[in-house]
Amino acid sequence: MHTLLLAGMDQWWAELATAHRVFFFIALMSSLIAIGLSLAGLLGLDHDAAALGLEHGDSTGDAEAFSIRAITGFFLGFGWAGYISLQSGHSLPLAALAALVAGVIVMYAIRFTLRSMRKLKSDGTMRYDKAVGATGSVYVSIPPSGAAGGQVVVTFDNRNETLPAVQNGAEALPAGTRIRVTASDGRLLTVEKA
């Protein structure tokens, strides 16, 4: 069975014209590299051109266009489009043009995708100083004179957060009282009655 399969592949390869072989080889190698890059990304072994020092420019400029993924995408589109064009009976110049156009389209599609993904990145660190000026309500009664133990619910950075709070007033602020954040010290908010 294996011998028959190998004999069939040898015959198929021998019957291909040189241009067909070149396009097919480029398509096959770039496909294998693309699969390898995808597997590396899934396994957390994601190394792109920036890690290898091959990119020039910043991440918001044209760096994505010359990353390993984008270049692999160019050759992937180039190889398969050229091979399919030749197999469809088109001339070599037309196949080369189709390959070039397809390669550029795939490269810039990958560039667009990488740029979009980079815009989605967030370090996840909550900046409590952004809560200053925000309003909310007391969740757990806040003792008077800076004593700890109270909690408030405030909305900032497009999310509701329940955070520890103190206040400088002489009377406790009961649950449900409307408050305004006046200061932030790490994870502790200072509030006043709104």
Query: Domains in the chain, ordered, with CATH?
Result: 2-120 (no CATH), 128-193 (2.40.50.140)
Would you say residue 55 has pLDDT above 50? no
Rounded to a whole number of angstroms, the distance between the first and last alpha carbons of the chain is 82
Q: What are phi and psi of 163, to 5 degrees?
A: -135, 155
Q: What is the pLDDT of residues 143-179, one digit of tens each?
A: 998 898 999 999 888 888 899 999 998 999 999 999 9
| Three-state secondary structure call for residue 131 | helix
| Three-state secondary structure call for residue 127 | coil
Q: Alpha helices of 43-91 — where are they, by DSSP H? A: 49-52, 68-87
Mean pLDDT of 4-21: 82
Q: Alpha helices of the chain — where are they, by DSSP H? A: 2-15, 18-42, 49-52, 68-87, 92-120
How confident is the model at residue 134, as a pLDDT?
92
How confident is the model at residue 9, as a pLDDT?
79
Q: What is the pLDDT of residues 66-107, one digit of tens each?
A: 688 889 999 999 999 999 999 999 999 999 999 999 999 999
The answer to whether residues 165 and 153 touch, using CB atoms and an 8 Å cutoff, is no
